[in-house]
Amino acid sequence: MRLNRRGFLVLSAQLAAVPLLVRCGTNEDPLPVVETPTDTPTSAPTETATVEPTSSLADLYDPDLHQLASKEYALPDGYVPPNLQPIPGNWLMGGQSGSLRAGVLEALEPMMNDAWEDDGVDLRIRSAYRSYDEQITTFQYWVDTVGEEQARRESAVPGHSEHQLGTTMDFADPYNGWELLESFADSPSGIWLAEHAWEYGFALSYPEGMEATTGYIYEPWHHRYIGIEAAAAWRDSGLTLIEFLEQLHEEAGA
């Protein structure tokens, strides 16, 4: 066990014993939509929070946060996440608006504050929740702009986007003109997020060089909230996020 610089316990020892599972490779077992009365994160990401050791990945599984959404996995028809709330204007890139689940906003607050107060990094969100209908527009924009073959490498078809979960956001940085380009990884925001986002429960869905597994190009700006304990386990696993979530589902019998 070790502590990161913000005092979170890192779960390497417990999780090293978890066997890797092969990808199940099917889309025949859609997740139930779990309605919760509130949208509080499973672990409050405060400066003093510590992560209790867990004995298995199954204990980390949260059906409300760990839904599978990828080219392979569609969300349930008509899925709309609960408790969507507007993102504060000073967290957004200029001229943008957007919403996220209330619990994700709670998890984001200390991350945005720490990035600025500890390291002078002014994180800004470019886009966040997108409804099914909005994803139709987004995907068509990319088809019209770069052609369908390339669009499928960069954008999800409606019903398959993590943005529809209300837990996922794209950041942008003035370093590279606020554009969603690989050069975001070299921006102050990209460098900070790569090092610290997991400490607050956020996972990078589409890492570099993993398009064959994730289905998407490297997207250093695209982060999904999965909870602090799960994000620590994901990071230690070395798996892509979709592989890790598949493993969580397997371990939990979901």
Q: Considering the rule CB under 5 A, would residue 222 count as an interface residue with Zn ion?
A: yes
User: Nearer to Zn ion by C-beta: 196 or 222?
Assistant: 222
Nearer to Zn ion, 15 or 101 (CB): 101
**H/E stretch holding 66:** none
Residue nearest Zn ion (C-beta atom): 222
Measured from the CB of residue 225, what is the shortest distance to Zn ion in angstroms?
Answer: 13
The least distance separating Zn ion from the CB of residue 142, rounded to whole angstroms, comes to 12
Q: Hey, what amino acid is at 96?
A: Q
Q: Which C-beta is closer to Zn ion: that of 160 or that of 222?
A: 222
Count Cβ atoms below 10 Å from residue 38 Cβ, excluding itself.
Answer: 8
Minimum CB separation from Zn ion for residue 202, in Å? 12
Distance CA 83, CA 102 (A): 6
3-state secondary structure of 223: strand
| Residue closer to Zn ion (CB basis): 220 or 227 | 220
Q: Considering the complex, what minimum distance in angstroms separates the CB of residue 105 from Zn ion?
A: 17
Shortest approach of Zn ion to residue 213 CB, angstroms?
A: 17
By CB under 5 A, tell whether 170 contacts Zn ion. yes
Assess 126 for contact with Zn ion (CB under 5 A).
Answer: no
Site string for Zn ion, 181-220 (x = CB under 5 A): ----------------------------------------
Closer residue to Zn ion, CB minimum distance, 170 or 243: 170
| Rounded Cα distance, 39 and 36, in Å | 7
Positions 89 through 118 that interact with Zn ion (CB under 5 A): none
Strands 2-3 and 168-172: unpaired
Q: What length does the chain have?
A: 254
Q: For the purposes of burial, counting CB atoms within 10 Å of the CB of 49, is it exposed (0-12), middle (13-18) or buried (19 or more)? A: middle
Calpha distance 119→192 (Å, rounded)? 8
The nearer residue to Zn ion, 15 or 203, going by C-beta atoms, is 203
C-beta of 66 vs 222, nearer to Zn ion: 222
Q: DSSP characters for 118-172?
A: HH----EEEE----HHHHHHHHHHHHHHH-HHHHHHHSPPTT--GGGGTSEEEEE
- Please state the closest distance from residue 209 (CB atom) to Zn ion, in A: 18
- How far is C-alpha 83 from the geometric centre of its chain's CA atoms? 17
Give yes or no for residue 62 binding Zn ion (CB under 5 A).
no
From the CB of 170, what's the least distance to Zn ion, in Å?
4
Which residues contact Zn ion by CB under 5 A?
170, 222
